Amino acid sequence: MAVEKILMPQLGESVTEGTIEKWLVEVGDSVNKYDPIAEVNTDKVNAEVPSSYTGVIKELVAEEGDTIEVGELVCYIDVEGGAPKEEKQEESTGQQAIENISEEKKEQDEDQPMKRRYSPAVLRMSQENNIDLEQISGSGKGGRITRKDIQKVIDSGEVPAPKQEQAPSENKKEEKSEAPKAPVKSVPETKGADVPVAEGDIEIPVTGVRRAIANNMLRSKHEAPHAWTMVEVDVTNLVEYRNGIKDDFKKKEGYGLTFFAFFVKAVVEALKEFPQMNSMWAGDKIVQKKDINISIAVGTDESLFVPVIKNADEKSIKGIAREVKELAQKAKTGKLKGEEMQGGTFTVNNTGSFGSVQSMGIINYPQAAILQVESIVKRPVVMNNGMIAVRDMVNLCLSLDHRVLDGMICGKFLARVKENLETISKEKTSVY
């Protein structure tokens, strides 16, 4: 038998790390190649880590709740054959040396680059038990503190009290000589201010999903010069048509026919006419995508997911409605796969489902635009004949990356979407 490593895989575009939510195997379990061994929460999606080998699980290096970077070790597995002995000898001077180091040596080791990278589970346990993490020695890779380390402290009954600030004394030189352990420049850009916590306040550890959302939104706002534009659309005919067929449609197909499917179809048809909108900024060039893959935002109580309708230009209104329903259901039940989150070229966001009438969305980086479909509301409108009538109106709000797109092309695109929606009728439009 030979020992092989299983590393955290790349589970999606721009994914740099994942959080082990649940191990599906234990030490001593036999697994086949490609069998799932762990559930991982990563860049807006729950996924499974497959085994890279057929063999027996030897050691689980990562704890449940630990956040592991792509390419880092998660576990060891015993396999038949394996890497040559020379390779194993080389490993012993690196990773094996770290893992075989004694506990006493770890407690004395002051060079612990991973010590301050706490998982959500570790943060939660330390806060619940008033434990100062700076006074805990980690047994994980690079001195990282694991849940076992916290539990060991709790079980011992000797919880270290938080360090007290040193009172002013005559020894000023000694105070000044102490350099800060963590330089300011090492703090991530997404870290907030030092917010005071009062009694009754609730501290919620940042999960891997929330961190991924924050990083992507921050990058989009920092890199893409956002601009906004909006049009008002009269969808009275659309409302009448959809309401007239929705009951028969649901009875026949088994799922509802939403307004959102009509909006996505209208956007897709406009993207075919104005392919510049289906582009991305790539530094020294603009990439105009051939496929029209529509990202849709799906929110849950805790997270935001952005699944993708692939090749939306090849789908009917019925097909779009079905896929929206299936993707939304998977997102809400945690069953979205990594590939279902990748490849989006343009985002359509149904903000109207929350009653919003106007909003400015943040672009889904690296896409060039996002369209917010607001709530359909009845308004008094002055018609072409000068008469006032109550009509079903909706605002379409477009956020654009001004490096890629200009106002003229965006104005023409929105005008086409508006026309596509206002000309929907029973005589001209088929959902099939």
The set of catalytic residues is 402, 406
Residue 367 CA to residue 403 CA, distance in Å, equals 11
Q: Which residue has the tokens 């392919």?
A: 275
The answer to whether the CB of 391 falls within 8 A of the CB of 236 is yes
Number of H helices, E strands in the chain: 11, 19
User: Could you tell me which residues are beta bridge partners of residue 68?
Assistant: 18
Length of the chain measured in residues: 432
Spatial CB neighbours of 93, under 8 Å, sequence gap ≥ 6: none
Rg (CA), the chain: 27
What DSSP designation does 51 have? Answer: P
Residue 62 CA to residue 176 CA, distance in Å, equals 39
What DSSP designation does 147 have? Answer: H
Residue 55 CA to residue 48 CA, distance in Å, equals 18
**Can you say whether the dihedral through the CA atoms of 410, 412, 415, 420 is positive or negative?**
negative
Residue 297 CA to residue 303 CA, distance in Å, equals 10
Residue 217 CA to residue 347 CA, distance in Å, equals 14
Q: Where are the beta strands (DSSP E) in 99-253?
A: 226-234
- Structure-block tokens of residue 286: 């603009």
Q: Where are the beta strands (DSSP E) in 24-143?
A: 30-31, 36-42, 45-50, 55-60, 67-69, 73-79
Q: Which residue has the tokens 């076992």?
A: 148
Residue 95 CB neighbour total at 10 angstroms: 13
Spatial CB neighbours of 340, under 8 Å, sequence gap ≥ 6: 45, 307, 308, 327, 330
Q: Crossing angle for the helix pair 236-253 and 317-332, nearest 10 degrees?
A: 70
Residue 400 CA to residue 420 CA, distance in Å, equals 21
3-state secondary structure of 28: coil
